[in-house]
Chain A
Amino acid sequence: MYLKQIELNHFRNISAENINFGKQINIIHGRNGQGKTSLLEAVFFLAITKSFRAKSEKIVLQHDKEYLQIAGLFETDKKDAFSVRIFYSVADGKHVFFNQNKIDKFSQLIGKIPVTLLSLEDLELAYGVPANRRKFIDILLSQVSPIYLQALQIYKKALSHRNRLLSLISENKENSSILFPWDEQLVKNGAYIIRLRQKFITFANEKIGDYYRKISFRNEQISIKYKTNVPFEAETGEIENVFKQTLFDNYDADVQRQNTLIGPHRDDLVFFKEGFPLKTYGSQGENKTLLIALKIVESEYLKEQTAENPILLMDDIFGELDNERINNLIQCVIPFGQTLITTTSREKIKGVPEESVRFMEIEQGKVVK
């Protein structure tokens, strides 16, 4: 996927800007607080219809303005052109247009523009709570498969109903015989969720070590484990019966806690270096390298599954990486098509083939060169 042009109005500190991007590496540089992250945020917004850092549209609307608009012209790898426009105003709410046609359900857009994002906040992915890692894998797989997104929505809803029933059961207002319609949907959709997550982890395990070593210059083994409390057989791939049985076995504990303790909503990803969990033993630098490698794997997976190169967004991640590592990193992402990278230090990027890179400087919400 190639974002040719973006037009922004009243988005964060960007008043009105029309920006053309290059097909491969785009380096957006400038001092702190000039609008670099905001620009990536706008691109992400076009693809996912949401911000990655703001909970509501109001926050990204430029101060004292009535409306905001983001419009993008895209070209697929097969050279089909299309446009997406997002309009928001406090009075009218959010509206999404695909080729000028208004989209009723925002989820219809998800997956049309595959995108992966890497920002410093993603360090939460390495250190933070399991929910962060589930969110990462859920966003990725929802882009890969709309049926995954649907399964996830049904699963979450069935889970809320089930938890409500557990409360009623614990108060003796209902009995266990009315759980089965929800259990059945948890099992069916949960098994689908686990299967797709497991498939991605298998893919990631084949790839992540190479990327990690290219960026770290260290010959270390990296692996990822999908940790689930549904103890399914890896060999047969049978999940449904095991899940059903585990739910059943755990019934008393669930009632006591008024909460469902079994299922993919409690799963986690664990990253290992040389067999030891990175979260506990790894340095911050190692965790960061792992994340970068994971994001490249994510891009590769999106490319493989959707037959379309994703747009890769990297927000201010160079930090203490030296020129050589940065160079290696850029070499790794060139095969995945368009990449937008922000940095405060342009001079760190040297030796990248000139025809692959476009530089632009941003100052007070304007592209100055």
Chain B
Amino acid sequence: MHTSGLPVLDKLINDFSKLPGIGYKTAQRLALFILKSDSSYVSELADALLSVKENTRLCEQCFNIAEHERCSICADTRRDAGLLCVVEDVVDVMAIEESHEFRGLYHVLGGVISPLAGTMPDDLHLKELAARVQVNGVREVLLAINPSTEGEATMIYISRMLRDSDVRITRIASGVPLGSHLEFLDTATIGRAIQTRRDL
């Protein structure tokens, strides 16, 4: 066990190292940075940390992060409520929003089905998705889920669940990432891109 000799500092280092992608070394650097910073910065940071926790919740419609009952996307009347994009996680909403390509609404599942990890369909926001599709005049459900084995299983599950509704179900194309050279891609990726090719 690492120790700095100062229990208060050790506690902070330990708490930082629980953050994703932060190892012990980085946690130590961050803690020392805090130690040397102005008190005003440190109290602002502490307030910001508490505030995200206290002033946010999950959107009651799409389960995105929200400040009110509905998130800013669901509340935006200019967006196309007939088009739903289903994603695993809130970070996927952020990534898709950054592309400015999508003008519909989202539905955040909160994960993918994975019996080995103990995640069953009932643990995800799947029933809510079925209910939304029933009532809101939804035309199309776009599945933007990673094509892992578990992601595929989740997409298969959703397709079956929505089979009897009139909505069109689509999935994002998987294939060659923009700006990549074909020769450096693994052949399976190229194979998949060829399988999902489309007309020009």
The docked-state distance in angstroms from the alpha carbon of A111 to that of B160 is 37
CB pair B115 A154 closer than 8 Å: no
CB pair B153 A182 closer than 8 Å: yes
Instruction: Indicate whether A178 reaches chain B with its CB closer than 8 angstroms.
Output: yes
Q: Which residues of A contact B (CB under 8 A)?
A: 101, 105, 107-108, 111, 146-147, 149-150, 153-154, 157-158, 160-162, 164-165, 168, 174, 178, 180-182, 184-185
CB pair B188 A146 closer than 8 Å: yes
* Chain B, Cβ-Cβ closest to A148: B188
CB pair B116 A181 closer than 8 Å: no
Q: Which chain B residues in 30-83 approach chain A with CB under 8 Å?
A: none
B-chain residues with CB within 8 Å of residue A154 when the two chains form the complex: 149, 152
Known: A161-B116, A164-B115, A168-B115. A185 touches B152 (CB 8 A): yes
B120: min CB distance to chain A, Å = 7
The docked-state distance in angstroms from the alpha carbon of A165 to that of B184 is 38
B-chain residues with CB within 8 Å of residue A146 when the two chains form the complex: 186-188, 191
The docked-state distance in angstroms from the alpha carbon of A142 to that of B121 is 33
Known: A180-B160, A185-B153. A107 touches B116 (CB 8 A): no
Q: Taking A161-B116, A174-B120 as given, write out 4 further A-B residue pairs in contact, using a Cβ cutoff of 8 Å, ordered by the A residue number.
A: A157-B149, A164-B116, A185-B152, A185-B156
Chain A interface helix/strand/loop/mixed: helix
Instruction: Indicate whether B109 reaches chain A with its CB closer than 8 angstroms.
Output: no
Instruction: Indicate whether B10 reaches chain A with its CB closer than 8 angstroms.
Output: no
Q: Which residues of B contact A (CB under 8 A)?
A: 113-116, 120-121, 149-150, 152-154, 156-157, 160, 184, 186-188, 191
A-chain residues with CB within 8 Å of residue B120 when the two chains form the complex: 174, 178
B-chain residues with CB within 8 Å of residue A157 when the two chains form the complex: 149-150
CB pair A158 B187 closer than 8 Å: no
CB pair B186 A181 closer than 8 Å: no
CB pair B156 A158 closer than 8 Å: no
* Chain B, Cβ-Cβ closest to A155: B149
A-chain residues with CB within 8 Å of residue B113 when the two chains form the complex: 181
CB pair A181 B188 closer than 8 Å: no
The docked-state distance in angstroms from the alpha carbon of A105 to that of B189 is 12
A339: min CB distance to chain B, Å = 26
CB pair A181 B187 closer than 8 Å: no
A341: min CB distance to chain B, Å = 31
CB pair A147 B153 closer than 8 Å: no
Known: A161-B150, A174-B120, A180-B156. A147 touches B114 (CB 8 A): no
A-chain residues with CB within 8 Å of residue B184 when the two chains form the complex: 101
A-chain residues with CB within 8 Å of residue B191 when the two chains form the complex: 146-147, 150
The docked-state distance in angstroms from the alpha carbon of A147 to that of B188 is 5
CB pair A160 B116 closer than 8 Å: yes
B-chain residues with CB within 8 Å of residue A158 when the two chains form the complex: 149, 153
**Which of B115, B153, B186 is within 8 Å of A105, CB to CB?**
B186
Known: A161-B150, A161-B153. A150 touches B188 (CB 8 A): yes
